[in-house]
Chain A
Amino acid sequence: MRTIVKTFATLREAFGGRGVLYLDLPDGSTIKDLLKALRGCGSVDELDDLVEGRSSVKVLVNGREITYLAGLETRLRDGDVVAFIPPVAGG
């Protein structure tokens, strides 16, 4: 299945400046599996923090934050859009 990943701010930069990544994942994959797959695209501290459970990065699946779904265990479906939104501090 195909997952569409939207990256924001510093994460966008960490993934080469492309705001959208397309990842092919096995059916039934979760956010946690997606994070593992993203690691293959480059190590990002902010994503590692997510796995550890205390992070400032908001994760949305089709616009809904995963804390209102099943958190890191949220199962993805073909075509889901997952957004990773870190805080920013510019002014």
Chain B
Amino acid sequence: MSSPSSPRSPEDELTQSEAERYDRQLRIAGFGRGSQLKLKRAKVAVVGAGGLGSAVLLYLAAAGVGRIKVVDDGVVELSNLNRQILYTTEDIGRPKPEAASRRLRELNPEIEIEPLQEKLTDENAEDLLKDVDLAIDCLDNFETRFILNRACVSNSKPLVHGAVYGLEGRLMTIIPRRSPCLACLIPRKPKEAAVVPVLGSLAGLVGALEALEAVKLLAGLGSSTAGRLLVIDGYDLSFYWIDVRRDPSCPICGEKWWIEER
């Protein structure tokens, strides 16, 4: 949804105000105008607009990702505000995608935000993903994560997975059919917790890393965490990298879907 006051500027050049807004990142070695234009032309789905989503959305909007879908079926609650830094106390009771869009448009009126007040399901997933370059997992439960994983694999959309618990975080990027998927990483679905403990700064940390992964994938920079799970232990601030192998018998991305690199 384009805001009426700011018609979109051409996709193959940066306006003067864009050049100024993104000045500090345009100076990053290996980034430059070409990368910025890739971000400008990109479309992403941020699935979940809670603690992880707050950081992801703020950083992607600030970085100039051109079109961002905000998918969440919740409303802002008081108990969200320890970690969901996108919202204010005034937003309590408002649908999250709507409150998020308002805040993000204030931050960056030069991009398009598409608020989608819905829960991701097997039925709507394909529709939500068909026109995006990648999806970012900012969900708060296993079940919907597995729906997102399945949809990303079957629609060949890269997925940046992040999750938090207490003072801990997890991060892994999934490139469908080329790297292990969420079901390879988590072969046995764990029990869902009714309420998950989370410190806001951990959600911010993991969300910031997810935004970094997304920007790199979109702009074609660096290497991703595909096939490598990052485990963050905030108690003593230790970081563990775990190599994750694809599961040939994975029901989601198993053998029959695998294409060998040549």
Measured CB to CB, the residues of A under 8 A from B are 6, 8-10, 12, 19, 45-46, 49, 54-56, 58, 60, 63, 65, 67-68, 83, 85-91
Asked if B168 contacts A91 (CB within 8 A), the reply is no
Per the 8 Å Cβ criterion, residues 21-58 of B in contact with A are 48, 50-53
Asked if A90 contacts B198 (CB within 8 A), the reply is yes
Q: In whole angstroms, what is the CA distance A89 to B203 when docked? A: 11
Asked if B145 contacts A89 (CB within 8 A), the reply is yes
Q: In whole angstroms, what is the CA distance A60 to B50 when docked? A: 31
Q: CB-CB contacts of B180-202 with A at 8 A, as 1s and 0s?
A: 00000111111111001110000
Residues of A within 8 A of B141 (CB): 89, 91
Q: How far is the CB of B79 from chain A (nearest CB, A)?
A: 13
Does B258 belong to the interface (CB within 8 Å)? no
Asked if B240 contacts A85 (CB within 8 A), the reply is yes
Asked if A9 contacts B140 (CB within 8 A), the reply is no
Residues of B within 8 A of A9 (CB): 165-166, 168
Asked if B187 contacts A91 (CB within 8 A), the reply is no
Asked if B48 contacts A91 (CB within 8 A), the reply is yes
Contact of B163 among A6, A55, A65, A90 (CB under 8 A): A90
Residues of A within 8 A of B196 (CB): 88-91
Asked if B190 contacts A87 (CB within 8 A), the reply is yes
Q: CB-CB contacts of B137-179 with A at 8 A, as 1s and 0s?
A: 0111110010000000000000000111110101000000000
Of A46, A54, A89, A90, most buried by chain B (CB within 10 Å of CB) is: A90
Given A6-B233, A89-B163, 20 further pairs, Cβ under 8 A = A9-B168, A19-B233, A19-B235, A45-B191, A49-B188, A54-B188, A56-B186, A56-B189, A60-B240, A63-B240, A83-B240, A85-B240, A87-B142, A87-B163, A88-B165, A89-B192, A90-B140, A91-B51, A91-B138, A91-B141
Q: In whole angstroms, what is the CA distance A58 to B236 when docked? A: 19
Contact of A10 among B162, B165, B187, B236 (CB under 8 A): B165
Q: Which residue of B lies closest to A59 (CB)?
A: B242
Asked if A89 contacts B140 (CB within 8 A), the reply is yes
Top 9 nearest A-B pairs by Cβ distance?
A: A90-B196, A88-B165, A91-B140, A56-B186, A9-B165, A91-B52, A90-B164, A89-B142, A87-B186
Q: Which residue of A lies closest to B207 (CB)?
A: A91
Does B229 belong to the interface (CB within 8 Å)? yes
Q: In whole angstroms, what is the CA distance A78 to B203 when docked? A: 36
Per the 8 Å Cβ criterion, residues 199-258 of B in contact with A are 203, 229, 231, 233, 235-236, 240, 242-243, 245
Asked if B170 contacts A87 (CB within 8 A), the reply is yes
A10 and B193 in contact, given A90-B140, A91-B140, A91-B163 (Cβ under 8 angstroms):
yes
Q: How far is the CB of B256 from chain A (nearest CB, A)?
A: 20
Asked if A56 contacts B187 (CB within 8 A), the reply is yes
Asked if A87 contacts B235 (CB within 8 A), the reply is no
Q: Which residue of A lies closest to B143 (CB)?
A: A89
Q: Which residue of A lies closest to B145 (CB)?
A: A89
A-B contact pairs, 24 of them (CB 8 A): A10-B165, A10-B190, A56-B185, A56-B186, A56-B188, A56-B189, A56-B190, A58-B229, A85-B240, A85-B242, A87-B163, A87-B185, A88-B163, A88-B165, A88-B168, A88-B196, A90-B140, A90-B165, A90-B198, A91-B48, A91-B140, A91-B162, A91-B163, A91-B196
